[in-house]
Structure 1
Amino acid sequence: MASQCSITSTASTIPYEETSFLNQEFVDELEIVHQLYFGNSELNDSSPNDVYFSEESDDNFDDDNDDENIHLDCSNDENVNQQPEIEPIHNSTPSRPCDREYVLQENFKSNTCGCTRLFNGKPCSEAIEWEKVINYRLSCLEKSKEELDLLIKVQLFHHRKTPDSKSSGNVRQRPHQTYFFAGFAVCRTFFAFVHGLHRKTIDSIAKSLDTDFLVPRTHGNKGMVPHNAVTLEQTQAVKHFIVTYGSQYGLPLPGRLPNYRSEKNVLLPSDKTKADIYQLYCTAFDSDNERFSYRKISLSTFKRIWLEQCPNIMIMKPSTDLCLKCQKHVYKISHGGNLSEEEKEMLLSCYYEHVKNVKTQRDYYRNICEISKINFLQLNTKERGQPPCSVDTQLHYSFDYAQQVLYPHYSQQVGPIFFKTPRKCQCFGISCEAPGTQIFYLIDEKYACVGKGENSVTSMLHHHFQFHAYGEKRVSLSMDNCSGQNKNNTVIGYGLWRVMRGLHDEIEFSMMEAGHTKFSPDWHFGLWKVRWRHSDVESMDDIAKTVQESSRKGYNIPQLVDDPDKPVVFSDWSTYLRKIFKPVPALKKYHHFRMTSERPGVVFVRQYANDPEVEVNLLKRNCDVIGLPETIDILGLDPARQWYLYEEISPLCRNSEFACPLPNVARPCKKVKFEK
Structure 2
Amino acid sequence: MTSKLYLSPDLNMRRLHTAFKNKFPECSFVSYQFYRKIVKCDFPNYSFARPRTDTCRTCDLLAAKVKTANNDLLRQRLKKTLELHHMKAEKAMDVHRKKIAESKMPGCKFSNMAIDLQQVMFVPTLTHSDMFYQRQLSCYNLGVNISDSGQSYLCMWSELEAGRGGNEVISCIFHILNDAAIIHRKNIAIWSDNCVGQHKNKMAVLMYMFLIANGIYHTIEHNFLVSGHSFLPCDRDFALVEKRKKVTKAFIPSDLHEIVRSAKTTVPFKIVDMTDKPFFDFGEPAKKLLNAEKLKIKTVAGIKVTRNSIETGTVFTKSKSKGAWKPVKILKKNVSVQHLRALTLSSIEHCNRISVEKKNDLLSMIEYLPNEDHKKFYLENLK
What is the aligned partner in structure 2 of residue 339 from structure 1?
71
Residue 658 of structure 1: how far off its partner (Å): 4.4
Q: 2:379 aligns with which of 654, 661, 664?
A: 661
Residue 394 of structure 1: how far off its partner (Å): 0.2
Q: In 2 relative to 1, CA 616–657 (structure 1 residues): closer, same or farther, beyond 3 Å?
A: same
8 Å Cα contact 2:178/2:216 also seen in 1: no
The answer to whether residue 61 in structure 2 is matched with residue 351 in structure 1 is no
User: 5+ residue gaps in structure 1?
Assistant: 1-244, 251-267, 275-298, 379-391, 666-676
The amino acid across from 1:606 in the alignment is K
Residue 435 of structure 1: how far off its partner (Å): 2.9
Q: In 2 relative to 1, CA 249–597 (structure 1 residues): closer, same or farther, beyond 3 Å?
A: farther
Residue 602 of structure 1: how far off its partner (Å): 1.4
Q: In 2 relative to 1, CA 638–304 (structure 1 residues): closer, same or farther, beyond 3 Å?
A: closer
What is the aligned partner in structure 1 of residue 170 from structure 2?
458
What is the aligned partner in structure 1 of residue 184 from structure 2?
471
Q: In 2 relative to 1, CA 659–306 (structure 1 residues): closer, same or farther, beyond 3 Å?
A: farther
Distance 2:203 2:362 in 1: 38
The amino acid across from 2:302 in the alignment is H
8 Å Cα contact 1:605/1:616 also seen in 2: yes
8 Å Cα contact 1:427/1:441 also seen in 2: yes
- Deviations, residues 154-204 of structure 1 (Å, cap 9, x unaligned): xxxxxxxxxxxxxxxxxxxxxxxxxxxxxxxxxxxxxxxxxxxxxxxxxxx
Q: In 2 relative to 1, CA 551–306 (structure 1 residues): closer, same or farther, beyond 3 Å?
A: farther
Q: 1:370 aligns with which of 93, 101, 121?
A: 101
Q: In 2 relative to 1, CA 540–300 (structure 1 residues): closer, same or farther, beyond 3 Å?
A: closer
The amino acid across from 2:153 in the alignment is I
8 Å Cα contact 1:646/1:661 also seen in 2: no
The amino acid across from 2:378 in the alignment is C
8 Å Cα contact 1:395/1:472 also seen in 2: yes
8 Å Cα contact 1:424/1:445 also seen in 2: yes
User: 5+ residue gaps in structure 2?
Assistant: 13-34
Q: In 2 relative to 1, CA 576–614 (structure 1 residues): closer, same or farther, beyond 3 Å?
A: same
Distance 2:382 2:196 in 1: 39
The amino acid across from 1:447 in the alignment is E
8 Å Cα contact 1:444/1:540 also seen in 2: yes
8 Å Cα contact 1:270/1:317 also seen in 2: no
Distance 1:664 1:431 in 2: 34
Q: In 2 relative to 1, CA 269–519 (structure 1 residues): closer, same or farther, beyond 3 Å?
A: farther
Residue 399 of structure 1: how far off its partner (Å): 0.9
Higher relative contact order (CA 8 A, sep 6+): 2
Larger Rg: 1
8 Å Cα contact 1:646/1:663 also seen in 2: no
Q: 1:330 aligns with which of 63, 71, 74?
A: 63
What is the aligned partner in structure 2 of residue 525 from structure 1?
238
What is the aligned partner in structure 1 of residue 201 from structure 2?
488
Residue 300 of structure 1: how far off its partner (Å): 8.8
Which structure has more helix as a fraction of its residues?
Answer: 2
Distance 2:136 2:51 in 1: 32
Q: In 2 relative to 1, CA 304–531 (structure 1 residues): closer, same or farther, beyond 3 Å?
A: same
8 Å Cα contact 2:167/2:280 also seen in 1: yes
1:114-129 to 2 correspondence within 5 Å?
A: none
8 Å Cα contact 1:422/1:649 also seen in 2: no
Distance 2:199 2:255 in 1: 29
Q: In 2 relative to 1, CA 660–511 (structure 1 residues): closer, same or farther, beyond 3 Å?
A: same
Distance 1:663 1:330 in 2: 48
What is the aligned partner in structure 2 of residue 316 from structure 1?
49
What is the aligned partner in structure 2 of residue 570 from structure 1?
279
8 Å Cα contact 1:420/1:649 also seen in 2: no
Give the TM-score of the pair, scaled to structure 2: 0.82
- Deviations, residues 265-323 of structure 1 (Å, cap 9, x unaligned): xxx6669999xxxxxxxxxxxxxxxxxxxxxxxx997733278x89xx84423532222
8 Å Cα contact 1:639/1:663 also seen in 2: no
Q: In 2 relative to 1, CA 520–269 (structure 1 residues): closer, same or farther, beyond 3 Å?
A: farther
The amino acid across from 1:408 in the alignment is P
The answer to whether residue 156 in structure 2 is matched with residue 442 in structure 1 is yes
8 Å Cα contact 2:159/2:354 also seen in 1: no
Q: In 2 relative to 1, CA 538–423 (structure 1 residues): closer, same or farther, beyond 3 Å?
A: same
Residue 509 of structure 1: how far off its partner (Å): 0.6
Q: CA RMSD in A?
A: 3.0
Q: In 2 relative to 1, CA 558–270 (structure 1 residues): closer, same or farther, beyond 3 Å?
A: farther
Structure 1 stretches of 4+ with a deviation exceeding 4 A read 268-274, 299-302, 662-665
Q: In 2 relative to 1, CA 648–492 (structure 1 residues): closer, same or farther, beyond 3 Å?
A: same
Q: How many residues align?
A: 350
Q: In 2 relative to 1, CA 474–302 (structure 1 residues): closer, same or farther, beyond 3 Å?
A: farther
The 3-state SS of whatever aligns with 1:657 is helix
The answer to whether residue 136 in structure 2 is matched with residue 422 in structure 1 is yes
The answer to whether residue 350 in structure 2 is matched with residue 634 in structure 1 is yes
What is the aligned partner in structure 2 of residue 545 from structure 1?
258
The answer to whether residue 319 in structure 2 is matched with residue 611 in structure 1 is no
Distance 1:269 1:414 in 2: 39
Q: 1:594 aligns with which of 274, 284, 304?
A: 304
Q: In 2 relative to 1, CA 421–646 (structure 1 residues): closer, same or farther, beyond 3 Å?
A: closer
Distance 2:209 2:114 in 1: 18
Give the TM-score of the pair, scaled to structure 1: 0.48
The amino acid across from 1:590 in the alignment is V
Q: In 2 relative to 1, CA 639–348 (structure 1 residues): closer, same or farther, beyond 3 Å?
A: closer
8 Å Cα contact 2:121/2:138 also seen in 1: yes
The 3-state SS of whatever aligns with 1:660 is helix
* Identical positions, percent: 18
Distance 1:436 1:269 in 2: 28
